[in-house]
A and B are shown apart, each in its own frame.
Chain A
Amino acid sequence: MQGRSAEFEARGAQLIAVGQGTGAEAAAAARRHGVGFPCLGDPGHASYRSLGLGRTGWFGLTLAPFLEAPRQAFRNLKQADLRASASPRSDVRRLGGAMVVDASGRIRFLHRSATTTDVPATDALLGALEACRPARPGG
């Protein structure tokens, strides 16, 4: 995903991150983690619940990431602001995900992360965007 935002722009898509906390808190966290596109905040986590994004257990939060993807886990830990994580608006056990919505409001792609290191494949997101394009006459 990092460094490939131009491919999303080329497909006419808007790439938006959603983070926990207020708009400012989510934007700050996104900057800290190197997210290079706009970010919106969800202080009550309603969007996460609405999409059915799950929560991991304590093992999945602490030890499992270092076994599954150690490089990513160390990078995440290095970039983390542990004081911000302790905020009442933060749910450190909440898992992420991704959704592609076409211009009529239909969901074209939905990924619910199963673990803290499970992220959707960028190519899968780009493929879903291709399916959002209107069919060409005669094509």
Chain B
Amino acid sequence: MAELAVGDVAPDLTLLDPEEKPVTLSSLWNRAPLVLIFLRHFG
């Protein structure tokens, strides 16, 4: 599978909010431009 690059359509991933409710990325970017920061830290 080709690696994602600038200009590609972003994957519509599902993540969990602090109450464990699913949130799709498209539900966010449909509202406004989205900046996602992927944290390295868990602990």
Q: Mark contacts of A73-102 with chain B using CB atoms, 8 A cut-off: 1 yes-contact digit, 0 otherwise.
A: 000100111111111011110111111111
The answer to the question of A64 belonging to the interface, with a C-beta cut-off of 8 Å to chain B, is no
Q: Mark contacts of B7-42 with chain A using CB atoms, 8 A cut-off: 1 yes-contact digit, 0 otherwise.
A: 111111101111111010110111111111111111
Q: Are A107's CB and B37's CB within 8 A?
A: no
In the bound assembly, the distance between CA atoms of A53 and B40 in angstroms comes to 10
Taking CB atoms, residues of chain B closer than 8 Å to A85 are 42-43
**Chain A's interface: helix, strand, loop or mixed, by majority?**
mixed
Considering only CB atoms and an 8 Å cut-off, how many residues of chain B contact the other chain? 37
- Which A residues, 1 to 60, have Cβ-Cβ distances below 8 Å to chain B? 1, 8, 11-27, 29-30, 32-33, 35, 38-43, 46-48, 50-53
Chain B residues at the A interface, C-beta cutoff of 8 Å: 3-13, 15-21, 23, 25-26, 28-43
The 8 closest A-B pairs by CB, nearest first: A85-B43, A23-B16, A90-B42, A40-B15, A84-B43, A96-B40, A27-B18, A20-B42
Given contacts A19-B41, A76-B41, 20 further A-B contacts (CB under 8 A): A14-B34, A16-B28, A18-B36, A22-B16, A23-B16, A23-B20, A29-B39, A47-B11, A50-B11, A83-B43, A85-B43, A90-B43, A98-B37, A99-B34, A99-B38, A103-B31, A105-B26, A107-B5, A108-B33, A110-B4
